């Protein structure tokens, strides 16, 4: 019988993340991916569902850690007092800042920084609420949770993958590569429990019904899942898409349904 209190969940998290660490920390990778990532993230309906769970309050000062291109920060800006948006990708922050200029948003402050940095030196400061949405790219999960918990006066929100998350297992099988989607929400929840934090969980379900202008667009929009493909793998993926894609009135789509699940994990600062 396994006692979850005897498992070093931080170490297990670190081990499961080992194969993914290099890419997650590569600013160039995220800078290149930033435009397509920001566009895709804004089109899923995720932000609206998250904000419905969060129920923002006008007085809140919010930290959006690893904010990306502003998936949450932009729609949240009109509902709270201020937002500090932190990311290590300069391109992600540039996209966020450009949106702020276009939409005349003046209550978002951007900071370039990482989980591992000294947050006092970065000048992040205290906030009412801290968010880390689909952004737990730190090897030290325990330390990252403590950082968020310390700077939040009222509540902390984490969003983590469930199972395969946004990865398409069929594509991995098609190229003969095993899918390792990394540690999901249950690792986070178990560590929180071990830390004496009794968190709440709500699930967001996003149907992945994306369509593409062409088979080539479908191919290029899928490459992020693999990091890099050799020539044989790329040809296998191209062949898979050629066989599977169906014409939907001038757009192309995969014929099988796929549901992407996210776990919203949150806790108030006055937990027992």
Q: Contact, 171 vs 237, CB < 8 A?
A: yes
Residues 36 and 160 in one domain: yes
Q: Do 195 and 214 belong to one domain?
A: no
User: 155 and 249: one domain?
Assistant: no
Helix intervals (H) in 103-213: 119-122, 141-151, 169-175, 185-194
Mean pLDDT to the nearest integer, 211-215:
92
Alpha carbon 153 to its chain's center: 23
> Token digits for 233?
């793998």
Number of domains in the chain: 2
pTM: 0.89
Same structural domain, 113 and 247: no
Token look-up 């170490």 returns 11
- Under DSSP, the state recorded for 117 is S
Of the pLDDT bands very low, low, confident and very high (cuts 50, 70, 90), residue 25 is: low
Round the average pLDDT of the chain to a whole number and report it: 89
The domain of 54 spans 4-207+259-268
pLDDT in tens, 240-267: 999 999 998 889 999 988 889 999 999 9
pLDDT band, very low/low/confident/very high, at 272 (cuts 50, 70, 90): very low
92 and 48 within one domain: yes
Q: How confident is the model at residue 30 (pLDDT cuts 50, 70, 90)?
A: low
What CATH code is carried by the domain that includes residue 29? 3.40.50.150
Residues 38 and 154 in one domain: yes
Work out the pLDDT band at 35, boundaries 50, 70, 90.
low
pLDDT at 103 over 80: yes
Q: What is the pLDDT of residues 151-183, one digit of tens each?
A: 999 999 999 999 999 999 999 999 999 998 889
Average pLDDT rounded to a whole number, residues 114-141: 94
What is residue 5's predicted lDDT score, i.e. its pLDDT?
75
- Based on the fold, state whether residues 216 and 245 are members of the same structural domain: yes
Residues 181 and 67 in one domain: yes
Mark whether 263 and 248 lie in a shared domain: no
Say how many Å lie between the first and final Cα of the chain, rounded: 27
Q: Do 64 and 131 belong together in one domain?
A: yes
Interval 177-196 mean pLDDT: 93
Same domain, 182 and 239: no
Judgement on whether residues 178 and 252 belong to the same structural domain of the protein: no
What single string gives the DSSP state of each residue in 87-155?
ES-HHHHHHHHHHHHHTT--SEEEEE--TTS-HHHHT---EEEEEEES----S-HHHHHHHHHHHEEEE
């Amino acid at each position: 019988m396994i006692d979850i209190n005897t498992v070093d969940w931080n170490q297990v998290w670190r081990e499961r993340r080992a194969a993914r660490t290099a890419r997650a920390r590569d600013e160039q990778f995220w800078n290149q991916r930033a435009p397509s990532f920001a566009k895709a993230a804004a089109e899923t309906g995720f932000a609206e569902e998250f904000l419905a769970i969060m129920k923002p309050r006008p007085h809140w000062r919010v930290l959006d850690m690893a904010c990306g291109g502003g998936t949450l920060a932009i729609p949240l800006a009109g509902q709270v007092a201020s937002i500090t948006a932190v990311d290590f990708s300069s391109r992600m922050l540039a996209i966020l800042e450009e949106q702020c200029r276009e939409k005349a948003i003046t209550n978002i402050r951007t900071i370039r920084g990482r989980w591992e940095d000294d947050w006092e030196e970065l000048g992040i400061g205290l906030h009412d609420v801290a968010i880390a949405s689909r952004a737990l790219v730190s090897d030290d999960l325990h330390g990252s949770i403590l950082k968020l918990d310390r700077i939040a006066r009222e509540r902390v929100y984490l969003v983590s993958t469930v199972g395969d998350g946004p990865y398409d297992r069929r594509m991995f099988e098609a190229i003969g590569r095993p899918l390792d989607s990394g540690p999901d929400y249950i690792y986070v929840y178990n560590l929180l429990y071990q830390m004496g934090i009794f968190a709440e969980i709500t699930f967001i379900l996003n149907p992945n019904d994306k369509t593409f202008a062409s088979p080539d667009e479908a191919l290029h929009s899928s490459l992020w899942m693999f990091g890099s493909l050799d020539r044989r793998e790329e040809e296998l993926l191209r062949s898979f898409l050629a066989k599977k894609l169906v014409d939907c009135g001038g757009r192309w789509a995969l014929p099988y349904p796929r549901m992407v699940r996210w776990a919203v994990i949150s806790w108030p600062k006055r937990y027992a």
